[in-house]
Structure 1
Amino acid sequence: MTTTAQGPGSLDAAAVAEALGAGDCGEVAGDAGRRAQYASDASNYRQIPLAVVFPGERRHIRNTLAVCRRLGVPVTARGAGTSTSGQAVGPGVVLDFSRYFHRLLALDPEARTATVEPGIVLDDLQRAAAPHGLLFGADPSTHSRCTLGGMIGNNACGSHSLAWGRTADNIVELEVITYRGTVVRLGEMTAEEIDEAIAAGDDRSELIASLHRLAQRNLATLRTGLGQFPRQVSGYALEQLLPERRFNLARALVGSEGTLAVILSATVRLLSPPPARALVVLGFSDACAAADAVPALLTHQPLALEGLDHALTDIVTRPATRAAIDTLPAARAWLFAELGGTADALPRQAEALAETARRAAGSTGSEIITDPGRARTLWRIREDGAGLATRLPGGTSQPSRAEGGSEAWPGWEDAAVPPGQLGSYLRKFTELLDHHRLQGAVYGHFGEGCLHVRINFDFDTEQGTAVFRAFVTEAARLVAAHGGSLSGEHGDGQARSELLPLMYGPDVIALFEEFKSIWDPDNGLNPGMIVQPLPVDGNLRVSPHRTPLPLATVFPFHADDGDFAKAARRCVGVGKCRSADHRGDVMCPSYRVTRDEKDSTRGRARLLYEMTQGEVITDGWRSTEVRDALDLCLSCKGCSADCPVGVDMATYKSEFLHHHYKGRLRPASHYTMGWLPLLSRLAARVPGLVNALTSSRLAPALKRLGGIAAQRELPRFAGQTFLTWFRGRTPRGDGRRGPVVLWVDSFNNHFSPEVLQAGVAVLEDAGFRVRVPDGTQCCGLTWITTGQLGTARRIARRTTAALAPAVAAGLPVVGLEPSCTAALKTDLPELLDGDEDARALSRATLTLAELLVHHAPDWQPPRIEARSISQTHCHQHATSGFSADSALLNRLGIDNTALDSGCCGLAGNFGFERGHYDVSVAAGEQVLLPAVRSAPSDTRILADGFSCRTQIAQQTSRRGTHLAQLIAQALRPAGTSARAGLPSLPTDKEHSRD
């Protein structure tokens, strides 16, 4: 008889965590913060666990199961938590394999196999296999963070499964442990091996005997009801038990969503990719026409055939990606066809496929993409689809995801039909959306009939939730009528398990129940998934039955209707912030160092959302759990650009800190570094004395009092500020282009005035007349990042008022410090919501490169025949990008390499604060600092950010150079004194402290 493990009400979290801690289960967490972080995955569902366990060894897994079995607590296995169906959350104990249990155990290039622990990230396996010319065939879009264990749980597929198969097709052997503690090694078996195993008379033999009897009694059902097309992955893969499939228990376990056993190790098959690939982009009048063309295109045997609807591409705002989209063939939908072969044969193959597409009804054109960089950019749109599609344009306008738009959700995320049925299914599916007055951006694996779509369900109301239930029920019937599968790769989970009887008859459902009972008679593993299902509209993450706490905010959060809870739930859990691979992204620096969920953008967003709900995190803005999770957020703003759904954790952190410390004593660093611009003005009166004190024996005590890391060397104040220098000089140049306002930031003004002096020289040489703001102005950034928003607002008002006349007169405002430039462009308009002067200032603010490239296109800069590597400041990455800098460097003749380094790790006050030094340096050591150390001595190190230059100076023997300095040095005629009153500038090989 089947028993059921106890639910969350049977034991409290503290008791469960205590039992696990005493049972040698690895790292155990039962605190409110951890439970909140793991309450959701990438689905619509939310279940608060009793505890989270991070196993590091096999015994930890065995012991965890033993403790849970004794307590009657269910167990949910979890990888990266990117599942969209709710199978990675549960009410009992969550086993997170991704943090420690992620080793590559063996790789055999000759046998083309690898053996791994389940927590290994797919990209890490691919990097290990690549030197041998091998790869793992299944490649879901979450490849930079998804784990092999999660892929096995869902039978993940990806873009290339058309050619290289699903995860199941690439599994050789699994070693698993059941809820009752039986360890079994699984693979394909001959009749003789089955007989031998059954005869052994142990727990394994009883398991195999029961499974063999199930298969033998139901051969006809297994042959006719399951495995009818590649993407039929709903339910259990019982067809793998057939004799012609060699009774492959390993592959039968794939796609079981952690309901049968826990994986200890997996041996996977590797393959050799073709020597060359080509991308062919095909345009169509709409997605239905693209779907109709699929069967004919499949005759060309593409490696991948992916579809995108214009509703998805319309959402893209990232400049480089937007530019690539704008050059696609004019269309309302596209197919991306990738071909593999030899370099000589590919052009003919690509043209033949394009010709087939041109003959299809609704074809609007095609293009063969030969530039690898552009191809990667286009593929990125497809990979980011799950995140991009979570914000749909509202009304007739096309706002970006940062500007709002209706929320869109999974729930009908990856249904699949045989490819020949795709066009018919998509038309009827579109009619079903219209009938329920819903919208969704369609994309996915058209070549295998698998569609992804995010739909604007309204979970905030009872009526909206009822519409959700009605829609998915009718959609399930529609898929079944087309011979399809409710899930094509993401698993059934809570999202579809209840609907399985609409796809399978009662005989198949009965087999699923028997299969589960054989493996897990106690129902201790992930209960409620596939069999004995939880309701599709239960445990919803957003529910009309919960009333969020009334939390007033300083920032307006217009993109989220002024609702901080809605801003926090903007994170849908796709987990891109958990990627350890930079590849042009900044987010999330601290996670890349610690590999801890609490230090990811997603983990922080989850905590903030739970804070708004008041259930697990009960003390609102005063929460210490949220404060601690935000502690290692660098406020780099990388997530605001890199997160597919536009989570801006830097702003969320500022808002939280403002309320958390309101009326209370703050950390010392908030006073020393938060008020640095004001303190710097005082220090500027006696810079020599201040520098003597900060480099004396009193320095350690001063750092302790100021909340500053003992390991950090304090920057030295300049003997003369830039403003003092500027106001005592005579303008140079002809000023033919008219006036420009140079923003005098506090960092360069007080610590490195030579940067601003160089900026003056360059601007005057380019024909501008340089002005500076009246008085001493500040963007307020240091107060913003430390959450002192009241003070920041007052400073912002004074700044915008001071600059308003110049901005109204049409003068550009040029910033040389990227963080301050970004604050003028983005933070001030938000702080001063509705202030027209702030909005005008935002529009007028430019970087030096943007001004010279766009407002002085005929200026002839000096030629600098040199090589450089450049570190893009995080805030510039998030707001302006590097394209203008790249264009200017090209005009200068510089052979520049922009580092894919992410954040330098210093990030303003972060790297100076006590307790942050190790993470700060470790972030820099991932790419930037080793690249600087290994650069040839004649390579210039470009870094516009004061923080970046400081990190480089303090951690290497090199010196970073601002772009303005690089140009200004080249302006000086040989053998003469500095032009425009420019002082002598050190080269980047001279070690100095900024």
Structure 2
Amino acid sequence: MTALRDDLTTRAAYVSDASIYRRLPRAVAEPRSVADIRELLATAQEKGWPVISRGGGTSVAGNAMGDGLIIDTSRYFNRILEIDPDLQTATIEPGVICDQLRDAASEFGLTYGPDPSTHARCTVGGMVANNACGSHSVAWGTSASNLVAVTVMLADGREVALEAGGTSDAALTSQLTQLRDRHLAMLRTELGQFPRQVSGYGLQYLLGENGFDVAKAFSGTEGTCGIITRLTVKLVTKPKFTALAVLGFKDAIEAATAAPKFRVPGVTTIEGMGSDLLTALRTRPGQENAGGELPAGGGWLYCEVGADTQEKAFEAAQKLPGLVTETVVDSVVVGDPAEARALWHIREAGAGIVTRLPDGGEAWPGWEDSAVPPHHLGAYLKDLYDLLGEMNLRGIPFGHFGEGCVHIRISFDFNTDDGVALYREFIERAADLVHRYGGSVSGEHGDGRARSELLATIYSPEARQAFAEFKQIFDPGNVFNPGVVVDPEPIDQGIRPGPGARTFELTPVHAFSSDNGSFGQAVNRCVGVGACRSDAGAMCPSFQATHDEVHSTRGRMRSLAEMLRGETITDGWKSKETLEALDLCLSCKACATECPVNVDMATYKAEFLHHHFRQGLTSFIGKDRRPMAHLSMGWMPWLMKLVTKVPGSLRAVNVLERFRPVEELTKKLGGIEPKRRMIRFNNAPLTSWYKARAKGDDAARDLARGGHRAASAGDEKPSVVLWPDTFTNFSADAPGKAAIEVLEAMGYRVLMPMGNVCCGLTWHSTGQLDMTRKTLRQTLDVMEPLLEAGYPIIGLEPSCTVMLQHDITELLPEDPRAHKVQALTVTLGEFSAKHAEDGGHWPFGTLETQAGPGRALCQVHCHEQSVGNYSPELQVLDKLGVNTSVVGGGCCGLAGNWGFEPGHYEVSQTLGERELFPSIRAAEPGTIVLADGFSCRTQIAQGTGAEGVHLAQVMRAAIQPEK
């Protein structure tokens, strides 16, 4: 039998889905088979636990959570059993990810029609349970309309097949027939009145004219009637070509009013947004000029058209503005996929940031997907704006305007009882409003705990009685997901960010400048949309390796939130459960940019470790001591400086560690993972080599003494500072020496600070923040003359460069010198690309290797990919004539000290084997393996035997002899 995970670490990770609600489960189980589910059901009933089915946990209404047994099918119960291209169907297990099915179907020119925004991580079983839709539902319908058959397990362990015409159980079929016959008039007049009427149960499918389709009626039951064990879904033919028409209107209300007119053959999307969404998008870094491609207007509709040829698709799209000549302000029609993608990016990126308001304030679901008949949408949207204004609330509506569905997250204040009361008042008034327009409180996310109570507002007593009878037929013991749809829980019960959510909170070391200095507010960023559970992109590597919710960014955020609450995790910063949840975080920072709300788990982990352990060297003794790896690697800059006070010591260490017993003893004493090989060191620090080399340069010599000499009239070369990071200085000086030659060839005098400078990275990543701040202050003292001169600071090691470009001001926000460092620090690629762009001397030619023109396989350091920009490096390589290929997948899997800590080796290797190692093994002979990060080069060497090089080394190889 599948083991029950009843430890607090796991349970804390499952306290919520993507909703505002919180319920601590009794246990979590991840079945691999139907037999496992049957045994789990029996166990739950023996213990008196309710049972909650869960897929990707992306439900926004509190549908996939509860205080009983969570059965998570996403990890193991996720096989595609059969794709029949002739029947255009797929038979699958419920844990199959939507994109997994779409990718498999694409081989046959088919796709799965429903495509919610969470398609990269939501499961098809969860989609069917919530009757999810997506942007193409105007053409392909909801999950219910794409469901052919479903097999469900009832509380007694029986499996029952549901399909059009009935079920495999005669008694069940008879009961459903009688239910239908008792409520014929209501089924025909209240349910199924418009496409996005998702609230309640879809009992209209039981009507004879709808084929007595029990499978479709079961869709949207939100786990309240049984556990899905198998599904057969319909596949649709993908249009061979598409074109996109974006139409501009005066405002979002005009766009919503016009939307129904585009419900014509061939149109597959009618998505809407207003200028407030665009304004919010422009507040995000790098998006300041977003929307330049849009047509004029203050509200827009995105209408995609499919056809057999590009010409037909484009011609059909060109006709769309003519349908609304009286209100359309402007339009843009594109057939080129790249141009269409750029336009879609505006809509999708805008939608991705609405969980935070433009000023950084919190915005929450609860009323995020109401729907009305499409011809009422304009009037409803106007009234919704008015209601928000009247109650002094803010939100940014957008959504599936062609189907009358509006998405919005609102500035509810859940920190006080008055704020929660205002939430209830708004929701009740909004429900009355949507009912006046004949609408539904849910248009695609289901009712869950957010809206089940509101069914009494929009449905008659008879309709609600029919829902209760339907559940009673399938689940007479009320085992499955109680409190949802039938006998609903109050909408304001058990709100996760509500009063009491921050019982425990200390003043953080980091400034948390984007969260008003509050660690608790930073933790509240995570609303649970689950982007960290996707296998696409760089976030979250540990989840991609394990597919364990605990080791997702969301799971860690839930653990931190429980720690701050102090209700279940009661020992605050000393929590062993939270330490366990954070253990596999590689601090890659991918979440800082890929998460829609910019969760920065690397910073949160450093903050937690700082408080969890005592500070300083004394934290390495006693009962609650730090791991020894935090000393051997966290204090590496200090230890290296100490060792080098003895001439020849680094060379001696290298010689000694060539003997395997010595290396193994060193790893044991240092708390290093036994399967790792120790790194090697330079024979002497780079700074020592530089000091000897610079004897003839007055400016450099003066700098080496710790002083600063102003440039004289005879100084012709501009000066730059090369940052001597710990890794380049002590372990890998080849990039440093190459960078000096490269910069000198470009016409610069290269300076290097000779005092004790360090960015503090190794102390930061191990959560030793007092030492990090002390080190940074000492560094700023040494660097002060250089900062006054305004010399560019060129970083070679991406992780150290990011510390200086980003983290330093969060650690020393009050020090103006930290802000100067941040402004002056650039990568070698950034500096070189700008130098070339400005017309500077370019001493490089086309790189040639023994195998011919240069080819490079580039492993982008995770920090540079996450919070930096690798495009300048690619520009430089292109200018050198190097044909580049970039490895996808994000972090290499070593991640500095993390990969050397015990217990991380297997996950580290799994991550290397995702794309990095196979790409290197498959590379053509002579291909340069380019990796600017020391950790990346170490992982490459230990995982493949290949030697990675730095951009500086590639550039040096391309220097042309002076004529």
TM-score band by shorter chain is over 0.9
Q: Which residue of 2 aligns with 1:627?
A: 579
Give the 3 Å change call, closer, same or farther, for CA 935–924 of structure 1 in structure 2.
same
Q: Which residue of 1 aligns with 2:472?
A: 517
Q: How far apart are residue 627 of structure 1 and its match? A: 0.7
Q: Deviations over 1:768-801 (max 9, x none)?
A: 2211123131100000000011111100111122
How does 1:911-926 map onto structure 2 within 5 Å? 911-926=899-914
Return the letter of the residue paired with 2:542.
Answer: S
Q: Which residue of 1 aligns with 2:703?
A: none
Q: How far apart are residue 288 of structure 1 and its match? A: 1.2
Q: Deviations over 1:615-659 (max 9, x none)?
A: 111111111111111111001111111111111100110011111
How does 1:979-994 map onto structure 2 within 5 Å? none
Shifted more, 245-254 versus 868-877: the winner is: 868-877
Given the alignment, which residue of 144, 151, 173 partners 1:175? Answer: 151
Name the SS of the counterpart of 1:701 in structure 2.
helix
Q: How far apart are residue 381 of structure 1 and its match? A: 5.2
Contact 2:147 2:215 (C-alpha < 8 Å) held by counterparts: yes
Rounded Cα–Cα distance in structure 1 between residues aligned with 2:20 and 2:854: 53
How does 1:713-724 map onto structure 2 within 5 Å? 713-724=677-688
1:750 has 2:750 as partner: no
Rounded Cα–Cα distance in structure 2 between residues aligned with 1:105 and 1:187: 18
Q: Which residue of 2 aligns with 1:881?
A: 869
Contact 1:417 1:485 (C-alpha < 8 Å) held by counterparts: yes
Return the letter of the residue paired with 1:107.
Answer: I
Q: Which residue of 1 aligns with 2:458?
A: 503
Given the alignment, which residue of 604, 610, 614 partners 1:658? Answer: 610
Q: Which residue of 1 aligns with 2:793?
A: 813
Query: Which structure 2 segments of 5+ residues have no match?
Result: 701-713, 848-852
Contact 1:76 1:94 (C-alpha < 8 Å) held by counterparts: yes
1:774 has 2:741 as partner: no
Return the letter of the residue paired with 2:148.
Answer: V
Contact 2:310 2:335 (C-alpha < 8 Å) held by counterparts: no
Given the alignment, which residue of 637, 658, 661 partners 1:695? Answer: 658
Q: Which residue of 1 aligns with 2:225?
A: 260
1:348 has 2:324 as partner: no
Q: How far apart are residue 387 of structure 1 and its match? A: 4.5
How does 1:233-252 map onto structure 2 within 5 Å? 233-252=198-217
Q: Which residue of 2 aligns with 1:101?
A: 77
Name the SS of the counterpart of 2:310 in structure 1.
coil
Shifted more, 117-126 versus 602-611: the winner is: 117-126
Contact 2:293 2:343 (C-alpha < 8 Å) held by counterparts: no
Q: Which residue of 2 aligns with 1:333?
A: 299
Give the 3 Å change call, closer, same or farther, for CA 819–623 of structure 1 in structure 2.
same
Contact 2:147 2:216 (C-alpha < 8 Å) held by counterparts: yes
Q: How far apart are residue 371 of structure 1 and its match? A: 4.8
Shifted more, 268-277 versus 340-349: the winner is: 340-349
Return the letter of the residue paired with 1:692.
Answer: V
Q: How far apart are residue 57 of structure 1 and its match? A: 1.4
Give the 3 Å change call, closer, same or farther, for CA 121–32 of structure 1 in structure 2.
same
Shifted more, 482-491 versus 672-681: the winner is: 672-681
How does 1:397-476 map onto structure 2 within 5 Å? 405-476=360-431
Contact 1:33 1:607 (C-alpha < 8 Å) held by counterparts: yes
Percent of residue pairs identical: 47
1:573 has 2:528 as partner: yes
Q: Which residue of 2 aligns with 1:35?
A: 11
Rounded Cα–Cα distance in structure 1 between residues aligned with 2:456 and 2:349: 32
Name the SS of the counterpart of 2:152 in structure 1.
strand
Return the letter of the residue paired with 2:312.
Answer: A
Q: Which residue of 2 aligns with 1:401?
A: none
Q: Which residue of 1 aligns with 2:878?
A: 890
Q: Which residue of 2 aligns with 1:556?
A: 511
Q: Which residue of 2 aligns with 1:960?
A: 948
Q: Deviations over 1:795-829 (max 9, x none)?
A: 01111222233223222111111100000111111
Contact 1:688 1:719 (C-alpha < 8 Å) held by counterparts: yes
Contact 2:591 2:598 (C-alpha < 8 Å) held by counterparts: yes
Name the SS of the counterpart of 1:27 in structure 2.
coil
Query: Which structure 1 segments of 5+ residues have no match?
Result: 1-23, 198-203, 395-404, 977-994
Q: Which residue of 2 aligns with 1:361?
A: 327
Contact 2:500 2:565 (C-alpha < 8 Å) held by counterparts: no
Name the SS of the counterpart of 1:366 in structure 2.
strand
Q: Which residue of 2 aligns with 1:17?
A: none
1:269 has 2:224 as partner: no
Name the SS of the counterpart of 1:709 in structure 2.
coil
Rounded Cα–Cα distance in structure 2 between residues aligned with 1:220 and 1:56: 43
Q: How far apart are residue 206 of structure 1 and its match? A: 2.0
Name the SS of the counterpart of 1:525 in structure 2.
coil
Rounded Cα–Cα distance in structure 2 between residues aligned with 1:905 and 1:672: 20
Q: Deviations over 1:215-246 (max 9, x none)?
A: 11222211111101111111000000001111
Name the SS of the counterpart of 1:534 in structure 2.
coil
1:603 has 2:555 as partner: yes
TM-score (norm 2): 0.93
Q: How far apart are residue 322 of structure 1 and its match? A: 5.7
Give the 3 Å change call, closer, same or farther, for CA 741–371 of structure 1 in structure 2.
farther
Q: How far apart are residue 766 of structure 1 and its match? A: 2.2
Q: Deviations over 1:652-701 (max 9, x none)?
A: 10011111111442101001111111222344441221012222121112
Q: How far apart are residue 484 of structure 1 and its match? A: 1.3
Give the 3 Å change call, closer, same or farther, for CA 912–972 of structure 1 in structure 2.
farther
1:863 has 2:846 as partner: yes
Give the 3 Å change call, closer, same or farther, for CA 215–458 of structure 1 in structure 2.
same
Return the letter of the residue paired with 1:862.
Answer: G
Give the 3 Å change call, closer, same or farther, for CA 965–491 of structure 1 in structure 2.
same
Give the 3 Å change call, closer, same or farther, for CA 371–347 of structure 1 in structure 2.
closer
Give the 3 Å change call, closer, same or farther, for CA 446–967 of structure 1 in structure 2.
same
Return the letter of the residue paired with 2:734.
Answer: E
Given the alignment, which residue of 706, 726, 743 partners 1:763? Answer: 743
Given the alignment, which residue of 592, 600, 606 partners 1:648? Answer: 600
Q: How far apart are residue 355 of structure 1 and its match? A: 4.7
Q: How far apart are residue 894 of structure 1 and its match? A: 2.5
Name the SS of the counterpart of 2:794 in structure 1.
strand
Give the 3 Å change call, closer, same or farther, for CA 79–384 of structure 1 in structure 2.
farther
Contact 1:141 1:384 (C-alpha < 8 Å) held by counterparts: no
- Matched residue count: 925
Contact 2:280 2:350 (C-alpha < 8 Å) held by counterparts: no
Given the alignment, which residue of 298, 322, 347 partners 2:263? Answer: 298
Contact 1:293 1:360 (C-alpha < 8 Å) held by counterparts: no
Give the 3 Å change call, closer, same or farther, for CA 948–169 of structure 1 in structure 2.
same
Q: Deviations over 1:46-68 (max 9, x none)?
A: 11111111111111211121222
Q: Deviations over 1:385-417 (max 9, x none)?
A: 5641111023xxxxxxxxxx2100000010111
Q: How far apart are residue 301 of structure 1 and its match? A: 3.6
How does 1:721-732 map onto structure 2 within 5 Å? 721-730=685-694
Rounded Cα–Cα distance in structure 1 between residues aligned with 2:716 and 2:261: 62
1:62 has 2:38 as partner: yes
Give the 3 Å change call, closer, same or farther, for CA 377–623 of structure 1 in structure 2.
farther
Q: How far apart are residue 531 of structure 1 and its match? A: 1.3
Name the SS of the counterpart of 2:231 in structure 1.
strand
Contact 1:457 1:464 (C-alpha < 8 Å) held by counterparts: yes
Q: How far apart are residue 853 of structure 1 and its match? A: 2.4
Rounded Cα–Cα distance in structure 2 between residues aligned with 1:334 and 1:884: 34
Rounded Cα–Cα distance in structure 2 between residues aligned with 1:700 and 1:360: 79
Contact 2:560 2:578 (C-alpha < 8 Å) held by counterparts: yes
Q: Which residue of 1 aligns with 2:566?
A: 614
